[in-house]
Amino acid sequence: MLETKKLLQKSAAKADVILEILDARLPKASENPLVNRLCQNKTQVKILNKMDLADPKITAQWMDYFKKERNVRAIAINAADKSLAAAALEFATRDIQRNRARKLKLMVVGIPNTGKSTLLNTLAGKKIARTGNVPAITRHQQRTSLKNNIDIYDTPGILWPVIEPEQRAYALAVSGAISDTAVDYQDIVCFAANLLMKRYPELLMARYRFLDRLPGDETDLIEQIGAARGCLKSKGRVDYQKAAGVLIQDLRSGKIGRISFETPFDISSDEEENSVHPFV
């Protein structure tokens, strides 16, 4: 991580624009505090990727939230969509004053698995960076030349050493930004189940039509999913791990619906000053 931090610092000094790719389902949790320090005196654009998986009403709230931040602009996209990716590029560069003979340098930063490489591939019109639904695919900085005399740099994803509050780590794990082994898997599942039951009960019931009522707690939900989906051990006992995996994969893939893992209203004024405040 120290090596990546030094790389980012060196690249940021040369960049005209810094694009921070966030997960639209958890924009605050997927921010890296290091980026704000790197972006001093730089044009900073926050790109809320995976908007197709996020709750559109909550995404609109996040856009309003970022409008209030000083020296920050934000746009929500799906990085795999060519027109939306192109719109994000135009949005990020339209106000930059430059000599057309000089290449405009854009640096793409963000935590793992937010879609940095996907955006790069879409803008380039070909596969030049590895992508995947697992963290830390990009290992080294990669430069690509785009049209209109633009160079764009893809950088390795970097997480900060301590993630607080702990619910933020759960949200990151549920999204796939960090490995399932980095946080206790049972805690991840409890976070996901509670979120769905409290904030998206209609989507939960619609996805799992075998539910005749809203489950009383996360254990009840997992057991019903396991029984209905055949996640069973000997003597008909529910395999909790497999059943939990069904829920997590359905959530990550969007099969349950468009869901956001946090809202701007989850962030108290105290947390904005770096104190602990839970999401759910």
Question: In angstroms, rounded to a whole number, what is the distance separating the alpha carbons of residues 44 and 20?
Answer: 7
In DSSP terms, which residues pair with 65 in a beta bridge? none
Predicted confidence at residue 160, as pLDDT, reads 67
Q: Indicate the average pLDDT of the chain.
A: 85
Predicted confidence at residue 156, as pLDDT, reads 78
| Closest to 219 (Cα-Cα) out of 251, 194, 199 | 194
Where do the domains of the chain lie, and which CATH numbers do they carry?
2-154 (3.40.50.300), 166-272 (1.10.1580.10)
In DSSP terms, which residues pair with 47 in a beta bridge? 21, 75
Are 82 and 88 contacting, i.e. CB atoms less than 8 angstroms apart? no
Predicted confidence at residue 139, as pLDDT, reads 47
Complete DSSP assignment for 93-138: HTT----TTSPEEEEEE-STTSSHHHHHHHHHTS--S---SSS---
Predicted confidence at residue 94, as pLDDT, reads 87
**Contacts with 110 (C-beta within 8 Å, 6 or more apart), sequence order:** 20, 21, 22, 30, 32, 35, 116, 157
How does pLDDT run along the chain (280 residues), one tens digit per residue? 566 667 677 767 788 899 999 999 999 999 987 787 777 777 889 999 999 999 999 999 999 999 988 778 999 999 999 999 999 999 999 888 777 678 899 999 988 889 998 999 999 988 776 544 444 444 455 788 898 889 998 887 777 666 777 888 889 999 988 877 767 888 899 999 999 999 999 999 999 999 999 999 999 999 999 999 999 999 889 999 999 999 999 999 999 999 999 999 987 644 554 433 334 4
Kindly report the length of the chain: 280
Predicted confidence at residue 28, as pLDDT, reads 93
123-181: per-residue pLDDT in tens?
998 877 654 444 444 445 578 889 888 999 888 777 766 677 788 888 999 998 887 77
Predicted confidence at residue 182, as pLDDT, reads 67
Are 20 and 109 contacting, i.e. CB atoms less than 8 angstroms apart? yes
Q: Model's pTM, two decimal places?
A: 0.86
Question: β-pairing, 72-76 with 43-49?
Answer: parallel
Complete DSSP assignment for 48-61: EE-TTTS-HHHHHH
Question: In angstroms, rounded to a whole number, what is the distance separating the alpha carbons of residues 88 and 82?
Answer: 10
Distance from chain centroid for Cα 166: 16
Predicted confidence at residue 268, as pLDDT, reads 61
Complete DSSP assignment for 183-208: S-HHHHHHHHHHHHHHH-HHHHHHH-
Q: Map 202-235 to HEC letters.
A: HHHHHHCCCCCCCCCCHHHHHHHHHHHHCCECHH
